[in-house]
Amino acid sequence: MSFTLLPEWSPQDAVMVTWPHKQTDWVDILAQVEPVYVALCQQISQIQKVVIVAHSSELKAHITTLLLDASINMQQVVFVDAPCNDTWARDHGPLTTANDQGELNIKDFVFNGWGNKYQSDLDTQINTALCRQVTDKKNRIQKVDFVLEGGGVEINERKVLLTTSECLLNPNRNPELNKQQIEEKLSQELGAESFLWVDHGYLCGDDTDSHIDTLVRFAPNDTLVYVQCDDEEDEHYSALKAMESQLQTFVTPTGKPYNLVPLPWPKAKYNTENERLPATYANYLIINETVLLPIYGDEKDALALTQLQKAHPERTIIGIDCLPIIHQFGSLHCITMQLPKGFLNRDPNEQ
């Protein structure tokens, strides 16, 4: 029975986050960043469980205090004890495939710090700890000798895989494989039956080599949600216009054009070193019944909420202030990884 990567809008058990701490690059802005994680946990825990990877027992105690102070139901929180280099759960976390019987195959791909840019020796061990401590024993767990981050791929209910050539064809990932061989590997491991390669688009400040989850996202019913830059003076304008033109040429497996839902372009955000930060509304997280959208205290926040509702009319859209997160050059989707239904150990009292 074939296994396929599940679309993000599939039913979920939990969302995984890896908590920032003083030995990470977050150290100077922990006071601003931790409230974002608490706000995330508040929203997620009302709907499903939160799996928190904690670097140490001391950090676990600290997190517990923060969550209790925020009146979060701790029965909805599951801790995983595992040291980490950084906190980008989307990219060091597992990718979970399923078959038609609902059986899960948890894939642990190689994470090399986005092309050996950053140290990742601890992050590469998190999935082993996660599966050993909280995964239901009936699930299959498989290490895959292929470099891949969760932020680099999207899939929909038609088994179409969406990615960027800038990332997956980059020689800092799998240099021994060409495009056809990469497609064959992704078909084998993730069950993809067709591919959409985005050849344009980037975000200044992004060091993932243009992850798809910063630019274009799948939504149900043959829909693509994407960032649209309308400022001709902005450095992103030409690349994102070329990306939009390419998206207009994409067709579904049945030959129809995709429904395109553009997201607005926020004003440029900078850090204290005057480096531009990768503020993007495309980096949202889909959970059960809800979509959590990163917002940035920008005049376009409200429009982004309205536009995303068009792509997910059956879900509640909730904004989470992620301005502190982009100071480390990622956003909301980057710091989370959904864990689908059946991933966690079953409570014996549950049916």
Which of the 8 DSSP states describes residue 201? -
Query: What confidence category does residue 348 fall into, taking pLDDT thresholds of 50, 70 and 90?
Result: very low
The position carrying tokens 């690349």 is 239
CA distance linking residue 245 with residue 328, whole number of Å:
30
pLDDT tens, 196-220? 999 999 999 998 999 999 999 999 9
Q: What is the mean pLDDT of the chain?
A: 96
What average pLDDT score do residues 155-168 get?
98
pLDDT band at 58 (very low <50, low <70, confident <90, very high): very high
Entry pTM: 0.96
What pLDDT is stored for residue 346 in this prediction?
72
Across 234-239, average pLDDT: 96
Largest CA distance in the chain: 59
Domains, the chain? 4-340 (3.75.10.10)
- Helices 57-69, 30-45: axis angle to 10 degrees equals 70
- DSSP letters along 321-345, please? E-TTGGGGT--TGGG-EEEETT-BP
Residue 351: pLDDT band (50, 70, 90) is very low
Sequence length of the chain is 351
